[in-house]
Structures are given as C-alpha cells and as structure tokens.
Structure 1
Amino acid sequence: MLMSRWITPGITILTCSVAVMSFAVLTSCSVDVDDENGFVVESGNTETPSTSDVGFGHGRDVLRLHSGLYDVAYVRFRIDELSIGRQDRIQVWMKTDICIGCKMVAVANLTIKTKEKKMVATIDTAWATRIMVTTGDVHYPAKNNTYCELYYHFGQYGEYNLTVPPMTRNNTNGTICDLETLKSPTYANTSVFVFYGSVFLMFFVAAFWVHCIKRCNNKGLPSNHNGNVQSNVSLEDQTPLTDPVGNKPTKTSLRLRSVDAFRGLAITNLVLGTSGDGHFWYLSHARWYGITVADFMFPWFVFIMGTSIHLSFNILLSKGQSYLSIFKKIIFRSISLFIMGVCIQPHNDLRTLRIPGVLQRFGITYFIVASSYLLSRRLQARRIERTGKCYMMFRDVTDYLELPLAFCFLTVHLCLTFLLPVPGCPLGYQGPGGPLVGENGELTNCTGGASGYIDRMFFTEAHIINIDTCSAVYRTIVKSDPEGILGSFTSIALCVFGLQAGKILHLFTTVRGRCLRLIIWGLVLISCSLILCKASMADGWIPLNKNLWSVSFIALTGGTAFIIQALFHILIDVTHFWNGAPLFYAGMNSILLYIGSEIMHPYLPFSWVPFVGNHTEYIILAAWSGFLWLAIAYLCYRKKIFLKL
C-alpha cells in the first residue's frame, strides 16, 4: 500500500506534464521561416557546401554538428559592391567552441550574385561560434585578408543579419562584423525544465502525501527503540542497515533498498538516453572533453555493481555455499553478459560485428573484481580473527586485495596512456585527433591516442564502433571505441570503489560511521579528479573524458557515486523518508530494462518517428519511454518476475 501511494500522484503529474509538453510541440513554430520581417530557409538538402560551392546549403547546420531541426539559428550575410566589388568573392570561415583546439573551417564562398536563399547560414546554437569573413580563395584567415570577424552565441530559431564591412587598407583583423537581430531567439530549455521540474514536484508531492497519511494513521502505534513510529510495512520492505552484531548476515539484512534505488536511478537515465533524452547537449554524451549528465550513468552502474558484489556474496556465503560454486556463478554471469552484449547489436554481419560494448565491459569488470573479492574472502577465512581497535576502524581496507588491484590497473592504464608509442602521434596524446586538430593535419590518425591505437590493433577497425559524438565535431577518420580495452582497466578500478562502498555499508554499525566514510571517499576522489584535470575542459594533465574513461573521469564519477549513495542511504535506509519508489523497481530489474530498451527503442509503443523534431517532442518521447519501462518494472516486481544472470 505504501508503494502505491508513491506511484498514484506520480502518474497524475507525469501525465499532466506530458500533456503540457505535447501542447508545446503542436504550437511550436516551424523551422522554415517566411514572413515579412524574416527570410526563407529551405530544408531537405543535407549536403554541406565546400569551398568550391557558391553559398550555404541547408537542412542541417553548416558545421554538420547535428542533423536535427533544433539548436539552430539563421544568419543572412549581407554584402554589396562597396565591400568586395561586383566580381569578387568572399569566403566564410567558422569554428564552434566545443571543437577544442580546432582550426577554422571554410563553409561557403559568396558573391554579389549569390541567390538570396544561399546567403543564409544555419548555425548551431548549443555553443558559441566564431565567424571570420576573408577574401576569396585564401588558404587560411590572416590579418591581411580578413574583412571582419565575430564571436557570438546565437539563440535557437533566432534570425540575424551579418553585414560585411569594406576591407580597409591597414586592416588588422580587428574589425567586428555588424550583427543585427531580425527575430529574437526562443528559449531552448523550457521542455527540460518542465519535465525534470515535474519529476521533482512528483517526488515532493508524493513525500508530503505519504508522510501526512502516516502521521494521521500511525498516531496510536507504538514506537521502536530509536523513537521512530513503527509503520505497517512488511519486514521485507523494511531493510535493516546491517546484520546484528555476532549474527550471520541474512538476505533481508544485506539487501539495502538504497542500493537498488541508486541502481534504478542509473538504469532509468540510461533508458532515457536510449530515447534521445531531448537531444540537449548537457543530457547527451560529451563530444570528447568534459562531462555531461549522461556520462555519469554508465560509471554509476559499474560502481553499484561493485557495491552489490560485497552484499550478494555475503548472502551466498551465509547460506553455506562453497567458494567453488560461487566462482562458477561468476564465470557463468560474466560469459552471459559478454555474449548478450555481442548478440543484441542491431545487425548480424560477422565481418563488422562489434566486439567491445557496454554489457561486454560489465562482464569483464565483474569477472575480475568478483574473482578477486572471492579470493580475499577465502584468504580472510584462513586468518585468525582480530579485534583490535585500530584494525576494527580500518578493516574495510586492510583485509582485502581489491584496492591494491585497483591501484595496479590504474598504474598500467597510466603507463600505457603516456608511455606507449603510437605511430605518427605525440607521446601521451589523449585528444580526438582528426584533420581539424593540429597545424597541418599531423594528428589526423591519432584519435584516442594509445587507447584508440590498442583497440585498432587488437580488434581491427572492422570490429569496433566509431564515436559519433567525436566524429561529428572533429571530422575524425579513424575509429576509437568508447568501451575499448584500456578503458576497462579504469572501469575495474571504479567497480572496486563501489565494492568499497558495499563494505562500508555492511561492516560499520553506526549511521555516522558509514556516512562519514562514504562522504570522505567521495570528497577525496572528487579532489583528485579536479587536480588531475586542473578543473578545466582540456588543459589538465588528464582531462575528463568518457570516451577514454580517463583516470580523472572515473575519480569524479566514483566520488559523486559515494556521495549519492550516502544521501540515498540516509533518505531510504535510515530515516525512511523515501521508500525508493519508483527507482527501486527499476533497480530490481536493471538487466531487463537495459536489454529491453536497447532492443525495443525503435518500435512502437516505445518510440515513434518525430513529427516536428524539436527538443520538446524528443523530451516527450524520452519521458514516455521512461514511463513505460518504469511501469513494466513495477509490474514485474508485483508479479515477482526478475531477470537475473
């Protein structure tokens, strides 16, 4: 009954929010513009103009960052005979801020005779853009060939006039292009605020409702030894924090609801990401450097897998299962995850079948961490039990082999990253490569540095996937798999951090001791990450990079996971302020939701071909898909259907 009270208001609020956003889709303005104050933009042509073409192409932004009809502005270039002469041409160059270290790219040649429609450029608005207008047929913009330049962050669906001034005799490349706003841009983030605002509103309304009902209904119930009112929830729903001192752990004592809710948070956001998540840049994966909301989910899932290893293995050992039988289960689950990851790909051509992948990394990481933990427990069982005060304070560290193992894998990762020679590339290079980076294209084949090189040598390019987020920006021509070999080393270290969180939650009996240790671990890892990346996008010793799973990346994601686990532990396990719904249901069936969303996302009723193709419709699509999978998870929980490997 308590769980259903959380869900009923959530369904109502989510339905209302979807209706509001649907209305926004239907009333949103069309991308094609044709009014008395604006200008016409043709759609449908997806070709990008080269320097030999005359004018701009349309249908996607001129830098080819995305093919959608969202996050775009329209800029008309205005020139006259006084500026360039009747027969002369000008060349337009552009660069976006997200392309870190890139050169300017020539996107169009314009003359006085260029058609009016071909004078309009479609420009991406997610990041600021630098524009330079030079004389025609120049190799690269310079001080003596530039009419004007502009650095500006355009707004979505805004319309602008950019006037090219005449070239002065002593031009010093400092002339600012004259920009006039014809139509004010629209605010691009309305739909995401409505969606996530509805989610948070659902949480607070449900919490208020549940606690008001409990306060009214439980006034006469007796209190427990902590002074908390005893509710009428079954013992299976009230998960104790740890096993009583001196007793063997049991299933109910070690199945922490906060861990399942945290896992549900990660898998729910992975499902939203499969559906596009609104196509907002901060909700999608980072292009190369930096980190976004989507970049946290996969690492958090790896972290929680480590936490679950400790808790589940203690359950198995408490039931008297042998170490050999548990090891057989480790082998079976690891192989199953790997094979399943290979088989759920959208094609079956063995000549181009992708070998690495998300579930494949889960399988490899699980096998190494779980096997090492089982060995630790085996060695620990043979030692004489100690009870010293200093030992009891640090027994989550001293009794196990996993932390030294994580340190070894991180050391190997760093040595290969910075010391492995990659043909034609600087030693220790961690950038995206591609023809846009470097002075003369010398980094074209250096995508991913040592990580990409190892994957290409081991798997060959036919069996790895190209990083679309990187290739769209940097025009990369060689492949580097985001779930490659070198990234698995740091993934193992991250899983060990999650294992450490599981030990803390189980071995220490006081809430203060558990939360303090979790927060300290989190702050230490976050501090290490900030030091390694120098709190910058690309200027640090080890930049944040999800595609490479850099050390700074797993330190930041692991540190935040420690802190969120502490927060969930307080809200769910300690204070019982929140019962974890509906994330708890998703966490109980995470494999089912992940595999189901990967297979079913192209089909009705989980998705549809967009009618408008703007942010609002994509966020509705993601919200609908997420709602369906949460409903499926809840029904499976009620029917006691769980997909386990």
Structure 2
Amino acid sequence: MKNRVISVDIFRGLTIVLMILVNTPGTWSHVYAPLLHAHWHGYTPTDLVFPFFLFIVGTSIAFAYQHKTASGATYRKIIVRSLKLVGLGLFLGAFTITFPFIKDFADIRFPGVLQRIGVVFFFAALLFMNFNWKSLIGICVAFLVGYWLLMAYVPVEGVASTFDRAPNNLANYLDVKIFGTHNYKPDYDPEGLLSTLPSIATSLLGIFTGLILTSKRERKEMVLMGMGAAMLVLGYLWDMVFPINKALWSSSFVLVTAGWANMFLALIYYLSDVRGIAFGGIFKKVGANAITIYFLSSFTGKVMGRIPVGDTSLHGWLFQKVYVHDFMSMELSSLLYGLTVVSFYVLLAHVLYKKKIFIKV
C-alpha cells in the first residue's frame, strides 16, 4: 500500500497475534473464559478476533485497489490470491502426520478460517472494483437484511427455522446437507456456507473504513469512533430479534464486531498516525507476513498435537513438563504456554521483517 497508514498494519498484526493466542492454549480443559468462544449466543473477546481480521481485509482492499483499473490482470491477481488462501486452508484441513499424510476423505473439513478469508477477499475485492461506495452500502445492507430474513423465515423441511443450535437452523441444515461429514462439528460449521454472506458484509464495512482513512477528511479518528458507536447501537438493537452469534455470523454480530473494530482502529490511528507515538512496531512486523505467520502457527500446532509422546502428544508432553506446576493454576499454565507460542511467532516475524522477507499469499 502506498502512503501506508501505520494503524492498519498494527491492527492487522495485533489481530494475528490474538488469533494465535486463542488457538494455542496449553490445554483446552483449562482456559480463562475471555479466551474461549461463547457457547452459542453472545460473544466474548475471543469472538472479536476473526471478524476483526475480515474487517481489516476490507480496509486493506480499499488501500490496495482504490486506484487500480478493473482489468483482466487485476482480476487474475484477485483470483489467484483467493485460490491460494482456499488451498492453504484445505491443506490444513486434510493434513495428517501419518503416511500418505492426507486424512480419509470423509474426515477432511472443507470450510475453514483460511477458506473463508479467501472467499471473502474474492467477493469483497470484486465488489469494490465494480461498484461505488453508495452501491456497496446497498449491497452490504442487502446481505445483512437478506441473511436475517432467510434465517428467520425460511422453514426447514416444513419446520419453522430457529437461531438455536438445532437441525431446523437453516445455516446448520444447509452445511450438513451440502458438506455432510466435512464440517467442523457433525451438526454445524462456524465457517459454513450460508454465513459467508454476512462475513462478506464484515469486509465491506472494513472497506468503508479504508475509504475514510484514504480520504482528506479532518479528524478521521472521530469519524471512525462515531461510526463504531453507531454500529454497536444498531447491532445491540438487532440482537433483540437476531441474536449476536459468531457460529452463525449473525447480522447483529457483524455490526457489533465492526463497531468494536472501528473504535479500536480509531484509537490506534489517533495514537500512531495522528500523534505519532511510536508503539506497536512488533505488531506491524507480524502484520507484514500475517497469513504466513498464521498458517505456520496452525500447521505446527497440528503437527505437535499429533506426534505421539508416551500416552500424550508432543504438545501435551511439553505443556506438562514445562508449564504445569503446583504453585500456579492450570489456567495460568495454559495461558503461559500460549504466550510462549505467540512469542516464538512474533520473534519469527521480527526476523523475517529484518531480513526484508515478505511472503505474499
């Protein structure tokens, strides 16, 4: 991006750091509540992390494609990048450490985090290249309202649809029907098919923020703060009829998480870009290789969780031998393990940045 906005780089890197932290506790049996996803309806700080990343994907699209022409070359780059992201996600879902290093077909998960990033990037970038901001607002509203109407009023095999985790939840029903055994859980997938529509809206809201940051407006941080507050209010009002829910990526969830994203980004923007306070440099370095760092952390975590050591795995053995002690709680031990993992990847990002190695996916 030309004329980089430092806060966007910091926000992206911070989000990746948090993604790694919440994905790699020492043990899932002992995790502090804020570092877990909400059981179903509602949200925790952890539930903000993934939508923050999709939001910043949209913001980055506004920077990267604002002055590009809608040409075949540009479309090819968008398609190739999207396919790379989807391919990496499918690889993570299919990989196993035993020969031939691919799970049985029935056990491979088709949806996933990287797959959703790839699909959302593809559609958000294409929409941005072909519509002005006023049209994009209309498309975003159509996605959010349309998703709500589908989830609330389309019956499932003659039974009224529900927002609960049940067979007559339309999003869950479609995932089971279409993906079968290839879901995260037998009855649903948090990165499922129908919920991709509102996740694209998350990225579109990030695009609007990017357009503000690239404009000549005064007091941009105040504009973003006001937008964020308005989205929070609208999201909580919508929660009364369409509950805030990450697994469903509900329309209220989109607004609430985008509201928080705007407010946090406004604060970072004010401190780093307006006041010129030097902070968050390490997060900027992580953000420079965001997808690479995330992929490596996910891949390594899978490998360590599957290498057997005695009656546990390499991951479990390291956790028990190094982090579990009588003088601290298991939750603290689990957190310290996660922080160690984060520290390793932050160090790796620092080395890559110093050597000017930027792996673009």
Are the aligned partners of 2:70 and 2:129 in contact in 1 as well (CA < 8 Å)?
no
Distance 1:532 1:596 in 2: 38
In the alignment, which residue of structure 2 is the partner of 1:394? none
In the alignment, which residue of structure 2 is the partner of 1:285? 37
Are the aligned partners of 1:330 and 1:370 in contact in 2 as well (CA < 8 Å)?
yes
In the alignment, which residue of structure 1 is the partner of 2:269? 569
Task: Please point out which of 258, 273, 277 is paired with 2:22.
Answer: 273
In the alignment, which residue of structure 1 is the partner of 2:126? 371
Distance 1:609 1:520 in 2: 44
Task: Please point out which of 292, 312, 315 is paired with 1:592.
Answer: 292
Which secondary structure does the structure 2 equivalent of 1:493 belong to?
A: helix
Query: What is the Cα deviation at residue 428 of structure 1?
Result: 3.5
Query: Over the residues paired in the alignment, what is the CA RMSD in angstroms?
Result: 2.0
1:521 is aligned to 2:247: no
Distance 2:128 2:143 in 1: 15
Distance 2:53 2:19 in 1: 10
In the alignment, which residue of structure 2 is the partner of 1:95? none
In the alignment, which residue of structure 2 is the partner of 1:334? 82
Query: What is the Cα deviation at residue 412 of structure 1?
Result: 2.4
The one-letter amino acid of 1:412's match is G
Query: What is the Cα deviation at residue 420 of structure 1?
Result: 1.5
1:452 is aligned to 2:185: no
Which secondary structure does the structure 2 equivalent of 1:610 belong to?
A: helix
Which secondary structure does the structure 1 equivalent of 2:105 belong to?
A: coil
Task: Please point out which of 429, 432, 438 is paired with 2:162.
Answer: 429
Distance 2:154 2:320 in 1: 46
Which secondary structure does the structure 2 equivalent of 1:354 belong to?
A: coil
Query: What is the Cα deviation at residue 524 of structure 1?
Result: 1.1
Task: Please point out which of 550, 557, 577 is paired with 2:250.
Answer: 550
Distance 1:516 1:508 in 2: 14
Distance 2:2 2:130 in 1: 25
Query: What is the Cα deviation at residue 424 of structure 1?
Result: 6.9
CA distances 1:423-445 after superposition (whole Å, capped 9, x unpaired):
374x2411123xxxxxxxxxxx4
Task: Please point out which of 333, 345, 354 is paired with 2:109.
Answer: 354
Are the aligned partners of 1:276 and 1:619 in contact in 2 as well (CA < 8 Å)?
yes
In the alignment, which residue of structure 1 is the partner of 2:320? 610
Q: TM-score, normalised by structure 2?
A: 0.87
Task: Please point out which of 163, 174, 187 is paired with 1:479.
Answer: 187
1:578 is aligned to 2:278: yes
1:344 is aligned to 2:92: yes
Which secondary structure does the structure 2 equivalent of 1:549 belong to?
A: coil
Are the aligned partners of 1:302 and 1:495 in contact in 2 as well (CA < 8 Å)?
yes
The one-letter amino acid of 2:137's match is L
Which secondary structure does the structure 2 equivalent of 1:359 belong to?
A: helix
Distance 2:280 2:347 in 1: 15
In the alignment, which residue of structure 2 is the partner of 1:417? 151
The one-letter amino acid of 1:342's match is L
Distance 1:541 1:291 in 2: 16
Query: What is the Cα deviation at residue 580 of structure 1?
Result: 2.3
Question: Aligned pair count?
Answer: 335
Distance 1:591 1:606 in 2: 23
Are the aligned partners of 1:369 and 1:402 in contact in 2 as well (CA < 8 Å)?
no
Which secondary structure does the structure 2 equivalent of 1:625 belong to?
A: helix
Query: Which consecutive unaligned segments of at least 5 residues does structure 2 have?
Result: 97-102, 306-313
Are the aligned partners of 1:606 and 1:625 in contact in 2 as well (CA < 8 Å)?
no
Distance 2:140 2:66 in 1: 21
In the alignment, which residue of structure 1 is the partner of 2:204? 496
Are the aligned partners of 1:589 and 1:643 in contact in 2 as well (CA < 8 Å)?
yes
Which secondary structure does the structure 2 equivalent of 1:479 belong to?
A: coil
Distance 2:70 2:356 in 1: 27
Query: Which consecutive unaligned segments of at least 5 residues does structure 1 have?
Result: 1-250, 378-396, 434-444, 467-477, 534-539
In the alignment, which residue of structure 1 is the partner of 2:308? none
The one-letter amino acid of 2:338's match is A
Query: What is the Cα deviation at residue 289 of structure 1?
Result: 1.5
1:407 is aligned to 2:155: no
The one-letter amino acid of 1:364's match is V
Distance 1:622 1:324 in 2: 43
Q: TM-score, normalised by structure 1?
A: 0.50
Which secondary structure does the structure 2 equivalent of 1:507 belong to?
A: coil
Distance 1:565 1:573 in 2: 11
Query: What is the Cα deviation at residue 352 of structure 1?
Result: 2.4
Distance 2:153 2:108 in 1: 30
CA distances 1:112-171 after superposition (whole Å, capped 9, x unpaired):
xxxxxxxxxxxxxxxxxxxxxxxxxxxxxxxxxxxxxxxxxxxxxxxxxxxxxxxxxxxx
Structure number with the higher strand fraction is 1
Query: What is the Cα deviation at residue 610 of structure 1?
Result: 2.4
Distance 2:161 2:238 in 1: 14
Distance 1:273 1:424 in 2: 39
Task: Please point out which of 348, 357, 360 is paired with 1:641.
Answer: 357
Distance 2:71 2:129 in 1: 7
Change (3 A) 1:505 1:606: farther
Identity %: 30
The one-letter amino acid of 1:310's match is A
Q: How does 1:174-193 map to 2 (within 5 A)?
A: none
Are the aligned partners of 1:323 and 1:374 in contact in 2 as well (CA < 8 Å)?
no
- Asked which structure has the greater CA Rg, the reply is 1
Distance 2:187 2:178 in 1: 12
The one-letter amino acid of 1:297's match is V
Are the aligned partners of 1:355 and 1:463 in contact in 2 as well (CA < 8 Å)?
yes
Distance 2:165 2:70 in 1: 48
The one-letter amino acid of 1:562's match is N
Query: What is the Cα deviation at residue 487 of structure 1?
Result: 1.3
Are the aligned partners of 1:606 and 1:628 in contact in 2 as well (CA < 8 Å)?
no
Are the aligned partners of 1:289 and 1:544 in contact in 2 as well (CA < 8 Å)?
yes
Which secondary structure does the structure 1 equivalent of 2:320 belong to?
A: coil
Structure number with the higher helix fraction is 2
In the alignment, which residue of structure 2 is the partner of 1:464? 183
Greater relative CO (CA pairs within 8 A, separation 6+): 2
Query: What is the Cα deviation at residue 322 of structure 1?
Result: 6.2
Distance 2:356 2:265 in 1: 26
The one-letter amino acid of 2:17's match is T
Query: What is the Cα deviation at residue 530 of structure 1?
Result: 1.3
